[in-house]
Structures are given as C-alpha cells and as structure tokens.
Amino acid sequence: MKLKLARTSLKAKPKTVDIEEIEAELSTRSIFYFDKENSHKELKELIEYFEEKGSSVYMREVKYGLDENEYIYEVHII
C-alpha cells in the first residue's frame, strides 16, 4: 500500500511511502503525518494493518489554516 506523507510546503508535491517503510521507521519514531490527498479508506487500512500486528493506532485531522481544505492526518502508532 502506498501513502502520501504530508507536504513540507504548500506548493510541494507529497512524497509517497510504502507501508513497509513506515513499519521500518517505527523503531525511531511513532508519529507520522500524511497528506490530505490520502483517502480515508487508505488510512483505515493502515490502521487495521498495524492493529492486526498488535499495535495501538490513533488518527486525527490537524488543521493548519482557516480554510476547510487545510488539514493533514496525524497518526500515532504505538
């Protein structure tokens, strides 16, 4: 499964990452930020993937501006 990480600037394109890369990074960090271009279904699949492996996962939307479309997804995997 491919997911898009949050953009580092408004005009930048989001970087694509594979779920195995996220799993490999869990040893160094547990919070990931994903772009709004990811569908809610893809993020639910991510949550189910890690919950099946015995991890606890928390996801929320983080607004960074006043516009309704200015948000990213924050995912905690413990």
Residue-wise pLDDT for 28-59, tens only, equals: 999 999 999 999 999 999 999 999 999 999 99
Q: Which residues constitute the domain of residue 33?
A: 2-77
Q: In this model, does residue 67 exceed pLDDT 90?
A: no
pLDDT of 10 reads: 81
Q: In this model, does residue 65 exceed pLDDT 90?
A: no
Domain count for the chain, please give it: 1
pLDDT of 74 reads: 97
pLDDT of 19 reads: 94
Name every residue whose Cβ is closer than 8 Å to that of residue 14 and which is 6 or more positions away in sequence: 4, 5, 6, 7, 35, 37
For a pLDDT cut of 90, what percent of the chain falls above it?
Answer: 85
* Global confidence as pTM: 0.90
Structure tokens at 69: 């479309």
